[in-house]
Amino acid sequence: MASPLRPPWVWDYDLDAADFQALVDGTRTIGSLDRTWAVVRFLEYAPWPDIVRILGYRALVAGWPDWRNRIRSESRQRGLGFVTEGLPRHHPEFLA
């Protein structure tokens, strides 16, 4: 079981939730770990409810062009691509 202080998507790094959130927010860099690394790692491993809660729709749609080709899972790429293309057209209120 993952520590409540360490997000399960960074099981192999000594990062607590606050450090990881600061990386995702882009307010902190830790060595070679930066926002891009954190978000890509997060998008690869986190479940959808956590992605929405921690990253949010607006940041996901805005950053998706930069992160898309870094996601290794083709099914995850397709799913997130579907969401990021559909939200602005069908639910722009989620991006406000």
Instruction: Establish if 50 belongs to a structural domain.
Output: yes
Is the pLDDT assigned to residue 93 strictly greater than 50? yes
Is 22 within the bounds of a domain? yes
The domain in which residue 78 lies consists of 8-95
The widest CA-to-CA distance across the chain, in whole angstroms, is 40
What HEC string does 18-44 produce?
HHHHHHHHCCCCECCECHHHHHHHHHH
pLDDT band of residue 21 (cuts 50, 70, 90) is very high
- Residue 36's pLDDT is 97
Structure tokens at 86: 């559909």
Query: How confident is the model at residue 3, as a pLDDT?
Result: 55
**Spatial contact of 51 and 43, defined as CB atoms under 8 Å apart:** yes
Report pLDDT digits (tens) over 24-66: 999 999 999 999 999 999 999 999 999 999 999 999 999 999 9
Query: How many independent structural domains does the chain possess?
Result: 1
For residue 3, is it within any domain?
A: no
Does residue 31 lie within any of the structural domains? yes
- Within a domain: residue 52? yes
Q: For the whole model, what pTM was predicted? A: 0.88
